[in-house]
Amino acid sequence: MAVASPSRARHGQHGRSTKPSEGRAAWWRCCRAERGTGGRAAVPPSRARDRRHKQEFFPYPEISNEELAEINEFVGPVEKFFNEEVDSKKIDQDAKIPPETLQGLKDLGLFGIYCTPILLYLKWICLGGRGGLGLSNTMYARLGEITSLDGSIAVTLAAHQAIGLKGILIAGTEEQKAKYLPRLASGEHIAAFCLTEPGSGSDAASIQTRATLSEDGKHFLLNGSKVWISNGGLASIFTVFARTEVVDKDGQVKDKITAFIVERDFGGVTHGKPEDKLGIRGSNTCEVHFENTKVPIENVIGEVGGGFKVAMNILNSGRFSMGSASAGMIKKLIELTSEYACTRKQFNKKLSQFGLIQEKFCLMAVKAYVMESMAYLTAGMMDRPGFPDCSVEAAMVKVFSSEGAWACVSEALQILGGLGYMKDYPYERYLRDTRILLIFEGTNEILRMYIALTGMQHAGKILTEKIKYKGNMGVALGEFLTRLQDTLGRKVDLGLIGDRGVVHPSLQESAKKLEENVYYFGSTVRGLLSRFGKTIVEEQLVLKRVADVVINLYAMTAAISRASRSISIGLRNHDHEVLLTNIFCTEAYFKNNYAMAQLEKYADENLDDSIKKAAKQILEKRAYICSHPLDKTF
């Protein structure tokens, strides 16, 4: 068990690969490897590889007692602050976080949670004990659980540190860190991340903001507009992405994206009025304009023309915390709604005695449990020394938890009936706030593509290597034999259970389901790769199902791993955890099987063709084209 001590976490942070496409997608690799060797489990090297992959998820990551104490010590006052001093209703109504609340957050050190040990070091050297806390990813996840009780504050904090100052943190020079991070960590300065433009969301080629080098070569002149910038009106430090002209290796001048640190004091920075939003109304979102802003050349993050990678790394690294944040919110909702369900009576029966209401509570608990497990598993992996790239896992956590949160809030509202719809109660605010989770930090659709394609790239490489080694016919023959064996009935054993297994026997059934799914998923993926090859990029409906299966598999793994640990060390109510895990795994197993069965089919059988055709007809007319049910022809 790799214990995530702060010192080791440091290495973890910086050892990460800067190229996500080349980064190891741990979960995917695991699936693939287990699949590749599953049929011949007796081969020793594969067995060893299995074990290594298993170690990434089993046992569930733990932290030391001191760290736990430290975290609890820090969490206490934050929880108290949120329960007593934050008036979420007022924030929502006024669409503004009051300055005293903001100051309170700063005093608690919440603006510097994410500043890594480098800052901790700087803090001790330069500031003599004041400033940011320098906590690990686990700590960040833990605090996310509490800050999520107010969506506006959570988003303000996330925009500040998960993306706003992250650029300086992961790609900045020592001087930049020393200059900016202390004040950012203390909350004296607030950061914002300026990427989106009116014509550019996730497409780097359509960024219009331009930075031109001045004649003396010491400054860049920045011109352009950015929209929907969280903290845009509060921030004094901006991470801005703009086009610059870069001379290529072969002497050609090309436009490339560069990241800059821009201070508001550089001049020429203006912002529009705060946008009026559906949810997270208290967070400040507005347009930011740069007009001939003079940015010194020292303020380039990374290298000139290297902004694309900086942006990708920033976006990829911050997502995992959404799991714990959503879980925190759902836990709170369960408390509120169960109170109601146990007191309100209809037909001389409490609401809690109705099966349909019970089902909703179970759903909320299962989702909360699983997303919590996923979030802390990912955080633990990120805190591990030398563990490189968890961006796929983080994306999986984000997709699962945002959709789970939306479903749970909706169900909670359903339990409350009409009461939930009233503005006097906080539930409708939760509903509005939750909706943004599916949209920001990369929409779930885009992240599904990322998850599936990153994995496909990895699996495809292994398959091509195999083809090189064995030849086309060899692989085809092997595949044929494997399929034959599959149809004759195969017992999948990836070593999760049994004598040398890592899963507690109470979770045996769930683990078996996971193993079976993983095995057949590998088979499905190979089938897809041989069917579509590199053109699978265009098959978004296929990729969506692939991503859904992977997300479910990762969720099952996380839940089984956590529940296993809970039984083994005897945590309170571990039987409840086992129950939730088994419920989730069984449901996910069937969903996976359904998705994989669809993946095996061709486009005309699994409805993909029809879906696309229907959409095409609608979009051609840009309207719903069916006749009205009351229409007649005679």
Partner 1 sequence: MGDRGAVGTRWGHWGHGGGDTGTAVVTPVPLPSSAGVCASAQRVPPPRGATPRGPQNLPGSPRRGPAAFEAALRAMERWPPGRGGRLALVEAALAAMEALGVERSVAAYNALLRLLPRGPWVPRGPVQRLLFPFPRQQECGLQLLEQMERYGVIPDAETRFLLLGVFGPRSRPLRKVQRMMFWLPRFRHLDPHPLPPQPTRPGLAAARLGLHRMAGDPGATVTVIQVGTGTGTLCPLCPPLSPGSQSPEQRELLAQHDPARAVFVEGPFPLWLRGTLLKYFVLRGDPLPPHLRNIPETPQYPERSFYFPLELQLELERGPWDDEEFDVDEVEEGPVFALCVPGAGDRRTLARWISALQEQNPILGRAPVVFRLNEGGADPREGPQTPRLGTGTPPGAGLEPPEEGERGGEPRKNNGE
Name the catalytic one among 372, 441, 516, 539: 441
Query: What's the CA gap between 236 and 190, in Å, rounded?
Result: 6
Helix (H) / strand (E) containing 350: strand 349-350
Buried b or exposed e, range 148-166, using 16+ CB within 10 angstroms = bbbbbbbbbbbbbbbbbbb
Among residues 447, 496, 553, 588, the one that binds partner 1 under rule CB under 8 A:
447
Window of 86-94, 332-340, 492-500, 529-537 that interacts with partner 1 by CB under 8 A: 529-537
Window of 264-272, 295-303, 328-336, 460-468 that interacts with partner 1 by CB under 8 A: 460-468
Burial of 634 (0-12, 13-18, 19+ CB in 10 A): exposed
Structure tokens at 491: 């017992």
Query: What's the CA gap between 37 and 64, in Å, rounded?
Result: 35
Q: Which is nearer to partner 1, 459 or 560 (CB)?
A: 459
Window of 95-103, 130-138, 149-157, 626-634 that interacts with partner 1 by CB under 8 A: 626-634
Q: Which is nearer to partner 1, 90 or 601 (CB)?
A: 601
By CB under 8 A, residue 320 contacts partner 1: no
Cis upstream peptide for 59 (omega within 30°): yes
Q: Which residues contact 352 (CB under 8 A, 6 or more apart)?
A: 338, 341, 342, 358, 361
HSE-up (13 A, CA, CB side) for residue 421: 3
DSSP string, 282-315: TS-EEEEEEEEEEEEGGGEESSTT-HHHHHHHHH
Please answer whether residues 394 and 317 qualify as being in contact, where contact means their C-beta atoms are separated by less than 8 angstroms.
Answer: yes
Smallest gap from residue 457 Cβ to partner 1 (A) = 5
Q: Which is nearer to partner 1, 63 or 311 (CB)?
A: 311
Window of 125-133, 254-262, 425-433, 485-493 that interacts with partner 1 by CB under 8 A: 254-262
Query: What's the CA gap between 539 and 528, in Å, rounded?
Result: 10
Q: Which is nearer to partner 1, 29 or 513 (CB)?
A: 29
By CB under 8 A, residue 301 contacts partner 1: no
By CB under 8 A, residue 579 contacts partner 1: no
Among residues 75, 178, 438, 529, the one that binds partner 1 under rule CB under 8 A:
529
Total site size for partner 1, rule CB under 8 A = 44
Q: Is 441 noted as a catalytic residue in this protein?
A: yes
In terms of Cα–Cα distance, which of 585, 600, 586 is closest to 530? 600
Window of 306-314, 490-498, 513-521, 567-575 that interacts with partner 1 by CB under 8 A: 306-314
How big is the CA angle at 206 (ends 200 and 211), to the nearest 5 degrees?
105
Smallest gap from residue 380 Cβ to partner 1 (A) = 25
Among residues 102, 127, 204, 246, the one that binds partner 1 under rule CB under 8 A:
204
Q: Which is nearer to partner 1, 205 or 356 (CB)?
A: 205
By CB under 8 A, residue 469 contacts partner 1: no
Among residues 264, 309, 466, 490, the one that binds partner 1 under rule CB under 8 A:
309
> Which residues contact partner 1 (rule: CB under 8 A)?
21, 195, 202-205, 254-257, 308-309, 311-312, 315, 442, 446-447, 449-450, 453-454, 456-457, 460-461, 463-464, 529-537, 602-603, 622, 627, 632-634
Query: Which residues are annotated as catalytic?
Result: 441
